Amino acid sequence: MKYLVTGGAGFIGSNFVHFLLSRDSTCEVVVLDALTYAGNLENLDDLKGNPRFSFIHGDVRDREAVAGSLEGVEGVFHFAAETHVDRSILGSSEFITTNVLGTHTLLEGCRTRGIRRFLHVGTDEVYGSAEEVGFPETAVLAPSSPYSASKAAADLLALAYHKTYQLPVVVTRSSNNFGPYQFPEKMIPLFVTQAAENRPLPVYGDGMQKRDWLYVEDNCEAIWTVYEKGEIGTIYNVGTGTVLTNLALTREILRLLGKSETLIRHVEDRPGHDRCYLLDCTRLFRLGWAPRQSFSEALFGTIEWYKTHEAWWKGIKEKKASFQQYYEAQYGKRGV
């Protein structure tokens, strides 16, 4: 079996590539990735020379690159996207072209081929902010940011390709992931690495925004479960029910690192910031999936990973202009 993983040099994609290759000792994996600021070949370093792994440096918006990457492929996992909400507020063009047009190019490439399954990776952010009850997959979409709006458009395109062309599409919509190899602009790696260097942790607004946290390895298992057992043309929410406020999570990170809460800086809130994400994951639980790791074990393990992979994140934070310019644009004017 040969699989295509788009965006496989990013955070979840690279974790998923490792997951796929270790769960099936006969499969082949090809990664198509444009290596944007968020893509990092170091995430796949250990796979160099592995005859079951190949990498194509290409863009999901490029029809020829997509066609080449689909040679002999039976299963597609589509992760490639622009993913950072704050960046989508600073400028959204790449979000529209990659997330919407890129998904369309990939769907078109798959349409006429005998693809066994196309798994589209979506996000819970498409539902907008929740009140008390978790959103089911049938909830009305109400995205708040250019990022989530572009992801909603991509989900709908993928589902339309199933209805119109019988492309065997399944969709996952997961909550906030965390774990190894996450680009250090996202909350958990940003805060862990800032605290490690005794630098301020910028908390948006009052920090009372609630998020459901999902360990990346549990998400990889969920994606695989949906790919294998999910009903074609169906969406599956992926979440754990471990809901924390951003402030509580920040305090827990500082506690685990033995650092002072004086590092916390409340900064002006993000425009359109959703207060709460909650999911009803009954549909996925019925397929037999459940998270394997508790939140506290997974958070502890993640912090240990960043502690022992300082060169990885320092290489990004200190050497990549894409991180420094973004950090200055995002937090400089907010006084951090």
Per rule CB under 6 A, is residue 80 in the interface with ligand NAD?
yes
Quickly tell me which residue has 């040969």 as its tokens.
2
Work out the end-to-end distance of the chain between its first and last CA atoms, rounded to an integer number of angstroms: 49
> 6 vs 250, which CB is nearer to ligand NAD?
6
Taking CB under 6 A as the rule, does residue 211 contact ligand NAD?
Answer: no
Residues 6+ apart with CB under 8 A from 64: none
Beta bridge partners of 236: 172
Dist CA 43 CA 330 (whole Å): 26
**Backbone phi and psi for residue 53, each to the nearest 5 degrees, phi listed first:** -125, 135
Cβ contact 60:66 at 8 Å:
yes
CB of 34 to ligand NAD, least distance (A): 4
Query: For residues 130 and 148, what is the distance between their CA atoms, to the nearest angstrom?
Result: 14
Q: Of the listed pieces 29-37, 197-205, 243-251, 281-289, which binds ligand NAD according to CB under 6 A?
A: 29-37
Q: What angle do CA 218, 221, 227 make, to 5 degrees?
A: 145
Residue 9 makes contact with ligand NAD by CB under 6 A? yes
Mark the segment that binds ligand NAD (CB under 6 A) among 77-85, 129-137, 269-277, 304-312.
Answer: 77-85
The residues pairing with 176 across neighbouring beta strands, listed in sequence order, are 213
Give the span between the Cα atoms of 31 and 120, in whole angstroms: 15
Q: Select the span of 49-57, 79-87, 187-195, 306-314 touching ligand NAD (CB under 6 A).
A: 79-87
Distance between CA atoms of 119 and 128, rounded to whole angstroms?
22
Is 280 annotated in the active site? no
Report the nearest approach of ligand NAD to the CB of residue 121 (Å): 4
* Binding string, residues 107-136; x marks residues near ligand NAD by CB under 6 A: --------------x-x-------------
Asked whether position 267 contacts ligand NAD by CB under 6 A, the answer is no
Residue nearest to ligand NAD (CB): 10
69 binds ligand NAD (CB under 6 A): no
State the residues that interact with ligand NAD by CB under 6 A.
6-7, 9-13, 33-36, 38-39, 59-61, 79-83, 98, 102, 121, 123, 151, 174, 176-177, 183
